[in-house]
Copies of this chain bind each other. A is one copy, B any other.
Amino acid sequence: MGDDGTTAGEVGTAPAPAAPEEPDVLRDIESRTAAATDWSGHRPDGLPDGVVRARSVDDVVRTLRWATATRTPVVTRGAGTGLAGGATAGAGEVVLDVRGLDRLVEVRPDDQVAVVQPGVLVADLDAAAAVHGLMYAPDPASAATASVGGSIATNAGGLRCAKYGATREAVLGLQVVLADGRVLRTGRQTTKGVAGYDLTALLVGSEGTLGVVVEATVRLRPRRRKQATTSAFFDTVADAARAATAITRAGVEPAVLELVDAATLEAVDAALGLDLRARGAAMLLAQTDGAGAESEGRAVLAAVSPWARGVETTTDPARAAELMTARREALPSLERLGRAVIEDVAVPRSRLAEAVAGIEEISASTGVRIAVFAHAGDGTLHPVVVVPPEQDVLSGAPWDAACRIFSLAQRLGGTLTGEHGVGLLKRAWLRQELGDVSMDLHAAVKAAFDPLGILNPGKAIVDG
């Protein structure tokens, strides 16, 4: 029976459905300006028409029913820390801000599960898990400011994903409001489960184009109490990459394995008055964790030593924090040199040195300053393009350099985006990476979820 007392079969006698109630749309310039862009630096044409600040699942349902009835394009927005323009919104669009759905519903330590709303910050979820000796494994660098909802929308990665998986591997189930306002539940509370298609994984990383996540059931894992941290300096990036391979060959699976290039070391030196660059032209930081952390730390030390100029392993947390400085301060140090845009290409791990060399070439030939640090454990590189504050990063030589980097990654058998998403900025390289058949299927899957095309139109899965 429908709400109005008719059954689905009684089409002839049913009254026309009432026009859905309009949600509370903020139309002031300030709200619309604040909701127009994200951390990508992209400025859309004009401002969104309005902003809905949802505080409940019902608010989201009401907004999407209204949007469907009025054919209004909706851009869902979390904390706005996205780097690919996925949450940018312009004229003709309404922003659905879900930060107000910020309840950490429950942590069930014996099931190693938490239930959260999308507005909870990633770091707050992890902190809630920590109370029970558990961790939420995905650790994007933006964890302290990024929302769980946004991290699900982009399948956010982080440092320790090579060992513990990205956001997709941590999400067991979702509650999602579809474009027409229907509420979909996907997945389950259990670690395993194979009833039906994996719609959970399909929604993770879909960048707001398939539905609006209003609740997530996520997996927690035991928090590792022990850690061993190794820092090593090398004459060349190629040597650092060889050392990373040697760690792999030794059978060690570090939780963190970061490579830092010379340009980054120089920036950190300039910012903090250190002399890291004098110690080598590349640095590797490895962290092993868990009950075997110490013996694995020794294995890392042995593996990298033949290639390294200097190497140190510690289990002391204070010293470990010092060793990690170069990585932790990399982006802030580069941002002191100008406007910095961070990319996220990924390549097969054996191609890491080639990728860094290729990026250095691109920097030299375009005259654009590019520093690189990388998750060597999973082949994700973060080339940081730095330009003077007054220059636009998304056009001219800087953007040309970024585009060449995307192509380079694809040529090396990798991807143009390892963990930030396609958003608005990388659409031009999508078809080349996915192929025509895949692009056709993406459109068909999109139509299955959102036949009117009102959810984040023009982003993530279409040619740009």
A-to-B contact residues, CB < 8 Å: 108-113, 133, 154-155, 157, 161-162, 165-166, 168-169, 178, 182-186, 188-199, 201-202, 204-206, 210, 221-223, 225, 245, 248-249, 251-253, 288, 290-293, 295-296, 299, 346-350, 375, 377-380, 413-422, 426, 430, 433-435, 437-438, 441-442, 444-445, 447-449, 460-461
Q: A109-B249, A291-B296 are in contact. Are A417 and B184 (CB under 8 A)?
A: no
User: Which of B201, B417, B449 is close to A441, meaning CB atoms less than 8 Å apart?
Assistant: B449
Residues of B within 8 A of A169 (CB): 165, 169
Number of copies: 2
Whether A252 contacts B222 by the Cβ 8 Å rule is yes
The reply to whether A379 and B222 contact each other, CB–CB distance below 8 Å, is no
CB-contact partner of A195 in B157, B375, B430, B448, under 8 A: B430
Residues B349 and A193 in contact, CB atoms below 8 Å apart: no
CB pair B110 A350 closer than 8 Å: yes
Given contacts A190-B348, A192-B380, A461-B197, contact A184 B415 (CB under 8 A): no
- Of A110, A155, A379, A414, which is in contact with the most chain B CB atoms at under 10 Å from its CB? A110
**Residue numbers in B under 8 Å from A225 (CB-CB):** 251
A186 contacts which of B155, B190, B438 (Cβ < 8 Å)?
B438
A194 x B437 contact (CB < 8 A): no
Minimum distance in angstroms from A219 CB to a CB of chain B: 10
Q: A183-B437, A186-B438, A348-B108 are in contact. Are A195 and B253 (CB under 8 A)?
A: no
Is A110 in contact with B249, judged by CB distance below 8 angstroms?
yes
10 contacts between A and B (CB under 8 A): A178-B437, A189-B348, A190-B414, A190-B418, A192-B346, A197-B461, A198-B198, A199-B202, A222-B253, A444-B449
| Residues of chain B lying within 8 A (CB to CB) of residue A204 | 198
- Contact between chains at B438 and A185 (CB < 8 Å): yes
Chain B nearest CB from A171 CB (Å) reads 11
Chain B residues near A185 (CB-CB < 8 A): 434-435, 437-438
Contacts known (A198-B155, A198-B202); A111 close to B192, Cβ less than 8 A: no
User: Which residues of B lie under 8 Å from residue A421 when comparing CB positions?
Assistant: 194
* Known pairs A253-B221, A447-B448; A437 contacts B182 (CB<8 A): yes
CB pair B251 A194 closer than 8 Å: no
Other-chain residue from B190, B194, B195, B291 in contact with A292 (beta carbon distance below 8 A): B291
Contact A349 B194 (CB under 8 A): no
Q: Which residues of B contact A112 (CB under 8 A)?
A: 248, 349
Interface pair B249/A379, CB less than 8 Å apart: no
A81 → chain B, closest Cβ, in Å? Answer: 15
Bound-state CA distance A375–B192 (Å) is 10
Alpha-carbon distance between A144 and B437 when the two chains are bound, in angstroms: 35
Complex CA gap A161/B169 in Å reads 12
